[in-house]
Amino acid sequence: MAQDNNEGILKNMPVHFEGKDLSKIDSLAQEYFTLDSSEYVLRDIKSLNEKKRQCLVAIDAEILRLYNLPPRLEKMLLDFFAGYPRKGVDFKFDRYYPEGFDSYIPLHIFISEKFKNSTVENTMKWVEGNRTPVVIEALKKATEDFKGE
């Protein structure tokens, strides 16, 4: 399936960001354009390319956050581009989510540190560190209520 982005359609696409804070997009764009002169160039082109990719994903995530699409629609939009290399970059960028990822998580949440740290292992560490009689009782009650449904 060929993808054609008609310039006229894109120019007429509504962008309702008036009054919104765009400083994060601005700083991410500045970061992206200064990466070539950074320490990554001296060390490792693979690290540089990954940092550039992360920057572009963060820019796209912030723009999508401002549009505030329903999570399912945002995921469908991003999945539309899966498998198609992003034009204008000199590194691999052909998807936003890992192949086979089917949860409806907005991109800005998916790339957040909080989401990255929400693993089973980290949850278990939290539970072990916060296990008190009150928490144990609340979990038992929640389990009972869930079984009753």
**What is the DSSP-derived secondary structure letter of residue 136?**
H
Q: Which residue has the tokens 């449904």?
A: 149
Alpha helices for 68-119 (secondary structure H): 71-80, 107-110, 113-116
For 116, residues 6+ apart whose C-beta sits below 8 A from its C-beta are none
pTM here?
0.70
Please write the tens of the pLDDT for every residue from 112-147.
999 888 888 888 888 788 888 888 888 888 888 887
- Show me where the domains of the chain are located: 19-113, 119-149
Please write the tens of the pLDDT for every residue from 71-126.
999 999 999 999 999 999 989 999 999 999 999 999 999 999 998 888 888 888 88
Is residue 27 within 8 Å of 64, Cβ to Cβ? Answer: no
